[in-house]
Each structure stands twice: as C-alpha cells, then as structure tokens.
C-alpha cells in the first residue's frame, strides 16, 4: 500500500508540526480540528511558521505558497475518507481518542493506516475501538516536531506486520528516524525522560539548588540541549503531569507520581511557554 494523502487530527503544537513535516515531504495533508474556528487557528499557526521560515531565508515565497496549498483545514472527520494514513494528535484523553478511532474505523478507506501520536494513552484500546485493530499503531513524534528527528513506532499485539513496515517507511520519507517499541505506557523516551523531569522538580522542591543552577548543571554537565525546567516549560507542565499520572496509574511506582509543586503550578495555570509562564517567564 502506498501512502499518498495524509490526515492529521488536531492542529495544536504536535498536530501542526506533523502536518508541517508531511507537507514539506510533499504529501497533501488534511488537518481536522474540533470546530471551524480551531481549524482556522491551526492553519494560521502553520502560515505563521512558514512566513517565519521565509523571512529567515529558509523558504522562498513560491515554496511557502506551495506548502500552504498542500494543507487543507476542516472540522469534518469525514474529509479523511481519501487518506491512506491518518495521524491522530488530539489532547491526551483516552475516551476521546477511542471515540475518534471508532469513527475513523467507519470513515477511513479500508486499507488506511490509523496512527496515534499519543505519549501515554493505550494504543490497544484505540485499536479495539476502531474495529480494524490490525491497522492501528502509535507514531510518537517529539516536540518541537519539525526539529526533533525521532519517531517511536509503537505496535500493539494486534498490529499487522505490513502496517508497521509501511508506517516505518513513511516516517523515513518525512525525514525522521524511526525506532520500534511496543504499546506500553510512555514507550521508550517518556519512560526515561518523565522520571528525570519529576526528579528535577523534587530536587528544586527540596531546596538543594536554584532552578537556573539545576538547568545549567544538566546542560553543561551532561551536554543536554536544555536543562529540565526549560524542557518542562517547552513540553508543557500540564502534559508532563498528565503523562506522569497515567504512568503512575499503570505501574504504581512512586517515582512516576507527579510532585506537589508540579500539580500546584498546573492548578495555577503556569503551564510553560504556551501560557507565557511556567518555571520561567516568557515574552509574548
Ligand atoms: N520548522 C523548521 N525549522 C524551524 C522551525 C520549524 N517549525 N522552528 C525553528 N526552526 C529552525 C530555526 O529557524 C533555526 O534555524 P537556524 O539554526 O538556521 O537559525 C533552527 O530550527 C534551530 O532553532 P533554535 O535556535 O530555536 O534551536 P536550538 O538550536 O536552540 O535547538 C531544540 C532547539 C531543537 C528544541 C533543542 O533545544 C533541543 O533539542 N531541546 C530538547 C527538546 C526535547 O528534548 N524534546 C523532547 C521533548 S519530550 C516530547 O516531546 C515527548 C512528549 O510526548 C511529551
């Protein structure tokens, strides 16, 4: 099966990045959002990104227009009926995802691959809901999607081998490096990354050091591109807390439990860059 048309559900931080890399690799992309207003906002976000790249001299005006012409926005899931690959990138909500996969199972072409960009939800549950579990798998991109090279390809015990092969090849076609993993909460990266981020919060809570010093220590002492608090602000404190809660629920290990400070910051609306304030403060 050849992938010609790509659908992306959700056009937030992750969905818009996935739409961008697919369009840049030459695929016509249909982006679906919950309503027309959000679909328009998603397309505006992509337009702004391409304009910034044009201003930087990384895209000429013609290439920018061609990219935008390749991306359509809609609020109707039915418009994915011509897509050989659909990547779901909605918020992390198992029930919502299951419902969406049930609809996709009725709408998408019979041969379509149905992927989820989830970082913590149960892919097998989505596969079962779709009523065509052999065609469902995880394709987990990283933030910021256009810059991060990795995609975790997560198969369930029900995924057809051919689907894994085709999806893995598509990941390479859009310029990313695939790694194979099983459908298990948080896959490889978040299984290792999330406890590290939570430990950083606990360390700060304990009063051991200032957050700037913890960030500098990990950046310069370990060669990480960002310290843990800069990364938490990038990923979103709400996203990290949600992933941690799902991991704690699944594995019942205290190291996955979100620390009190993280919970309180989320309650206070300090979610990171996207709200202008997390551990650090950002200008608009
Ligand atoms: N499309 C294409 N290019 C873009 C772009 C876009 N949307 N946005 C920025 N760029 C370009 C910039 O123009 C810039 O180009 P230039 O070098 O020619 O000027 C280039 O990309 C680099 O931009 P920055 O200067 O902002 O990048 P940095 O060198 O500071 O690196 C970083 C940024 C790649 C984010 C790096 O700091 C990093 O790797 N940080 C760690 C990120 C990380 O760990 N992510 C994983 C999070 S976990 C996750 O996502 C899982 C989830 O499930 C929670």
Point out the ligand 1 atom lying closest to the alpha carbon of residue 236: 54
Cα 106 to middle of ligand 1, angstroms: 37
pLDDT of residue 284: 67
Cα 148 to middle of ligand 1, angstroms: 7
Residues within a 6 A CB radius of ligand 1 = 49, 53, 56, 119, 142-144, 146-148, 190, 193, 225-226, 231, 235, 239
Which residue has its alpha carbon closest to ligand 1 atom 28? 225
pLDDT of residue 283: 85
pTM of the model: 0.95
Which residue has its alpha carbon closest to ligand 1 atom 36? 225
Kindly report the three-state secondary structure assignment for every residue of the chain: CCCCCEEEECCCHHHHHHHHHHHHCCCCEEEECCCHHHHHHHHHHHHHHHHHHHHCCCCCHHHHHHHHHCEEEECCHHHHCCCCEEEECCCCCHHHHHHHHHHHHHHCCCCCEEEECCCCCCHHHHHHHHCCHHHEEEEEECCCCCCCCEEEEEECCCCCHHHHHHHHHHHHHCCCEEEEEECCCCCCHHHHHHHHHHHHHHHHHCCCCCHHHHHHHHHHHHCCCCCHHHHHHHHCHHHHHHHHHHHHHHHCCHHHCCCHHHHHHHHCCCCEHHHCECCCECCC
Point out the ligand 1 atom lying closest to the alpha carbon of residue 14: 50
Q: Which of 119, 120, 122, 130 is catalytic?
A: 119
Give the residues of the chain that fall short of pLDDT 50: none
Which residue has its alpha carbon closest to ligand 1 atom 24? 147
pLDDT of residue 198: 98
Point out the ligand 1 atom lying closest to the alpha carbon of residue 140: 53
Is residue 33 part of the annotated active site? The answer reads: no
Q: Which domains does the chain have, with CATH numbers?
A: 6-182 (3.40.50.720), 189-275 (1.10.1040.10)
Is residue 111 part of the annotated active site? The answer reads: no
Pocket of ligand 1, candidates 147, 185, 239: which has the most ligand atoms within 8 Å of its Cβ, to mutate? 147
Cα 147 to middle of ligand 1, angstroms: 5
């Amino acid at each position: 099966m050849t992938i010609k048309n790509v659908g992306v559900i959700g056009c937030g931080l992750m969905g818009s990045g996935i739409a961008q890399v697919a369009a840049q690799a030459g695929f016509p992309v249909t982006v679906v959002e919950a309503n027309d207003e959000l679909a328009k906002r998603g397309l505006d976000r992509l337009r702004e990104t391409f304009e910034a790249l044009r201003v930087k001299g990384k895209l000429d005006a013609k290439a920018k227009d061609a990219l935008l012409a390749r991306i359509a926005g809609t609020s109707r899931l039915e418009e994915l009926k011509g897509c050989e690959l659909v990547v779901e990138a909605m918020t992390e909500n198992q029930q919502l995802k299951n419902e969406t996969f049930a609809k996709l199972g009725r709408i998408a072409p019979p041969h379509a691959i149905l992927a989820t960009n989830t970082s913590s939800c149960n892919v097998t549950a989505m596969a079962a809901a779709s009523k065509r579990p052999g065609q469902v798998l995880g394709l987990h991109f990283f933030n910021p999607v256009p810059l991060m090279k990795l995609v975790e390809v997560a198969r369930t015990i029900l995924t057809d081998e051919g689907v894994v092969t085709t999806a893995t090849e598509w990941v390479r076609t859009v310029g990313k490096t695939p790694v194979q993993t099983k459908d298990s909460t948080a896959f490889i990266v978040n299984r290792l990354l999330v406890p590290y981020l939570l430990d950083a919060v606990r360390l700060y809570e304990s009063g051991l050091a200032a957050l700037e010093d913890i960030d500098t220590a990990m950046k310069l002492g370990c060669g990480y591109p960002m310290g843990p608090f800069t990364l938490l602000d990038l990923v979103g404190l709400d996203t990290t807390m949600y992933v941690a809660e799902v991991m704690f629920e699944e594995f019942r290990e205290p190291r996955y439990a979100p620390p009190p400070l993280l919970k309180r910051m989320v309650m206070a609306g300090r979610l990171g860059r996207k709200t202008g304030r997390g551990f650090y403060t950002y200008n608009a």
